[in-house]
Amino acid sequence: MKLREFGTTGKKLSALGIGTWEIGTDINKNIESIKYALDNGINFIDTAEMYGTEPIVAKAIKGYRRSDIFIATKVWPDHFDHDSVIKACNGSLKKLETNYIDLYQLHWPSKTVPINETMKAMEELIDEGKVHYIGISNFSVDQTKEAIESMKKYEIVSNQVEYSLVTRDIEISGLYDFCRDTKIAVIAYSPLSHGKIFSKIEMIDELEKIGTSYNATASQMALAWLMNRDNVFPIPKASNKEHMKENISSADIKIKPEDMKKMDKMEAKYYQ
C-alpha cells in the first residue's frame, strides 16, 4: 500500500482512506469490508457525527491496535459554538469507543458562529489530548485562509473537499495549489462522484481502455488518477469487500504521464 505524508503531521497514512457515509444498510458486510481494508494496508478511516456511522467504525476496529489506525471524524456546524464543540467531541469519542480522535474536522464552514470561537474549542481539545489534529472540510481558499488565521497554537492539517475525475472545482478555484503549497492535505471525498461516474458509459469505456495496460478497471483508474497527484487522499465508500478489494489495488497503479493527460481532459469531454 502506498503511504504518503499527511499534511504537516509527520504521519504516513495510506494514500487511500475509507469513507463511511451511508454505510449501515448491512452492518456485518460493512464491518467485514472495513476489516478487510485494515488487514490489507489501509490505516485511515473517515466518519462524522452527522453520518451516524461512528458506532460501526468502533465495531470494525475492535481487535486492532488503536495507534495503528488514524480515525477522522467531523463536527457538524450546528455544534460550532464553544461548548457544543466540546460536547460533540465527547459524544464522538463515546460512539467511537476511543479516548482520542486523530483528526477532528469542521464539516462545513459556519454561516453564524465565528471561526475563532470554534477553533478555540478545537485547540482546547488538543490540549486535553482528546484530539490530535485539526482539519476542515468544504472550505474555499478564502475560508481556509481565515481558518489558518484563527489558529493560536496548532495548524490546520487537512481540508476535505469533493474531488474526482469529474469534479475538478478545487483545481479551478486554486484550492488544490493552495493546499499543496501550504502543506495542507487534501482529502478527496466522493472520489467516484458518489457512484455517478458509472452512469457515464463513454467515459467508463475510455477508462477501461486506458486501464487495459495497467490490468485495471475503470473505478481503479479513477481512484489511481487522484493518487497520482501530490498530496491527495481519496476516501471512497465501499459497502462490500469486493469493491474494497478492487479499490485497494488502485493505490499501486503508477499512471504514465500521457495517460494522466488523457484522463485530465475527461471532465471537459464527457461532462460539459
Options 180, 241, 243, 262; binder of ligand NAP; rule CB under 6 A = 243
Options 4, 120, 194, 262; binder of ligand NAP; rule CB under 6 A = 194
Q: How far apart are CA 116 and CA 106, in angstroms?
A: 12
Q: Check binding of 80 to ligand NAP (CB under 6 A).
A: no
Q: Check binding of 40 to ligand NAP (CB under 6 A).
A: no
Supply the DSSP string of 57-91, one letter for each residue: HHHHTTTS-GGG-EEEEEE-GGG-SHHHHHHHHHH
- The crossing angle, in degrees rounded to 10, of helices 201-211 and 257-264 is 180
Q: How far apart are CA 73 and CA 94, in angstroms?
A: 12
Q: Check binding of 138 to ligand NAP (CB under 6 A).
A: yes
Q: Read off the C-alpha cell for 152.
A: 493560536
Q: Check binding of 235 to ligand NAP (CB under 6 A).
A: yes
Task: Give, as ranges, the residues between 2 and 31 that touch ligand NAP (CB under 6 A).
Answer: 19-22
Options 16, 46, 57, 73; binder of ligand NAP; rule CB under 6 A = 46
Residue 22 or 83: the one with the smaller Cβ distance to ligand NAP is 22
Options 1, 239, 252, 264; binder of ligand NAP; rule CB under 6 A = 239
Nearest to 166 by CA among 139, 135, 202: 202
- 29 with 54: CB under 8 angstroms? no
Residue 107 or 132: the one with the smaller Cβ distance to ligand NAP is 107
Query: Cα 94 from chain centroid?
Result: 22
Residue nearest ligand NAP, CB atom distance: 19
Interface residue list for ligand NAP (CB under 6 A): 19-22, 46, 107, 137-138, 160, 189-195, 219, 235-240, 243, 246-247
